[in-house]
Chain A
């Protein structure tokens, strides 16, 4: 008898097409520390994905039970929040913490200080002295996201939406280096942004309702920035493309050494457009 015949007889035509093990996937995990221990020094999303449970609910409980220490564990935790958000049917609502939504591909994450783990049933404290409801400015939120939505109900820290390629981020305000090296997607800041907003961008759109700090749009190559009020000094420093428009006034040396692109503002501080070899500065206030 041929081997196929033997196997065919053994399974009597009941061969399951899909592979349960791959579907179930994940490894037997004892908790977040166990997961972190099994990963390398610089964990990649694919590695975390291979080890993490497949079920969104299970990942969520892992997310809630974790207390990440240091940059490496923070990144693992961040990837886990993204995995949970992608797999859960409803938006993921969690406390703000560094690296939340790292490399998000889809789904929605809402960072809310009032969010509490399901087992607390909406009570304000878990008894360990950690009080829910106080806002902590978390850094590196929504880094490298390529899809989905991240809503920050409060001020974000530094590096918000760093290296993002798609998707969207909404935050009440943000710290320094927000949307740095952005290549796509959009970001909305409903309050003020810190210094170095959208540095080195080559795509995407950023809208800030309040003020922007110094050096916004530094080394920008493409994309768009809209600021609702004034911007600090060195706006669009050395930019070579893209578009910056201000509803307020730009600080000193706007468009300094710029090579291309467009800056539009109500007015400019001293030395605007010095040493520039290209690009345009438009002044809406004095046509």
Chain B
């Protein structure tokens, strides 16, 4: 077996050289710049049971890229992978997506070997349901009710039909979405939270257009010359990712990032995920709050808190991208900085007033979230050292909780004030 990582490098190069995917190097990791759409899709291919959403207008090479990757990783031809894909439209039905009851079981005589017993109903699962590479094209064109099917799929890792269940096993999930098409439906928040990462796909710019003009043959023909992965190599990828070690610095930054977005002095249990209806930061929840209008604090700038799934996703994708880019040691914090905005931005809605203030992020929500992530990580690495050490010493019993509370009272930080203080109060 060749090293799957070399093969991934080959694949990335081949996609560029065959002009199958040309995109700007918009994802900066440390000193290296790569194409975000391609590398995040590759990272998702190295993981299992995570869903990546490619978000962008038409002709941005979302579906084609995913199918090309599918063809390379699963070893199927491009046409076969294209046939596997499920495309959203309002009339799409569960039968067509998942499977249907096998009508033959009532017309054919019973198998004598079954001894008259029939175990439930036989269901013919669709190739899509059985495959380990699941692409949901234009997920936003499924009506909200039908979107719940995917919610169930992603949450339970199994699918049920007519009382039968099919275990999906370790699968790669991809979804694409074009926000501009007619007959689109809003994506449910619960479904968005199950989508692990979302990457904007952009139209080819001038240079990319020139490069694409050099592509002479059909995509399906060129696809056959891409490197192929054997099943063994494909299955080895998640294990390689799992072996990547994350430093304490990265783990700490991830937890602090989550708390920065989630903590709220005014929400029940200080947890913003429990807010409902009219009581949101954008609806005036924060007016007069101590942290309100403080640009260093993230809590008031975002309506939603982050779930624990975000923590898992941040860890997985940081590992996967570190592996893909061959980064080791201290640079992993840079990987986290690069990946975190993509993991978070589709799950939250930023405060409108902040988007309309200088430097005018406007519709560039990803940039805004990137800014918040940057602030939170920098704060954790630079400002929070003192308070974290005090808290750690108190937890380890080196100093009494009372002493620690007194020292921490000088720190003006949501995590110190809401998380650490309450934990210390319980310890007293």
Contact = CB atoms under 8 A, between A and B. Distances in A.
A181 B221 CA distance: 96
B220 interface: no
A21 B247 contact: no
Contacts of A15: 385-386, 388-389
B382 interface: yes
B293 A11 contact: no
B182 interface: no
B386 A4 contact: no
A120 to B, nearest CB: 27
Contacts of B386: 15-17, 19
Given A16-B385, A17-B386, A27-B294, A10 B412 contact: no
A286 interface: no
B294 A20 contact: no
Contact of A11 (B389, B393, B412): B389
A19 to B, nearest CB: 6
Interface string B401-428: 0000000001111000000000000000
B189 interface: no
B421 to A, nearest CB: 16
Contacts of B295: 28
B392 A16 contact: no
A19 B381 CA distance: 13
User: Most chain-A CB neighbours within 10 Å: which of B251, B381, B386?
Assistant: B386
Given A3-B392, A4-B396, A20-B382, A10 B294 contact: no
B396 A3 contact: yes
Nearest to A1: B248
A20 B379 CA distance: 10
Given A9-B248, A10-B249, A28-B293, A16 B382 contact: yes
B410 A22 contact: yes
A14 interface: yes
Nearest to A4: B392
A3 B383 contact: no
Interface string B364-391: 0000000000000000011101101101
User: Most chain-B CB neighbours within 10 Å: which of A17, A19, A27?
Assistant: A19
Q: Top 8 closest A-B pairs, CB basis?
A: A15-B385, A10-B248, A3-B392, A9-B248, A4-B392, A7-B392, A10-B252, A10-B249
Interface of B: 247-249, 251-252, 293-296, 381-383, 385-386, 388-389, 391-393, 395-396, 398, 410-413
Given A9-B247, A10-B388, A11-B249, 10 more contacts: A3-B392, A8-B392, A10-B251, A11-B381, A15-B389, A16-B385, A19-B386, A19-B411, A20-B383, A21-B411
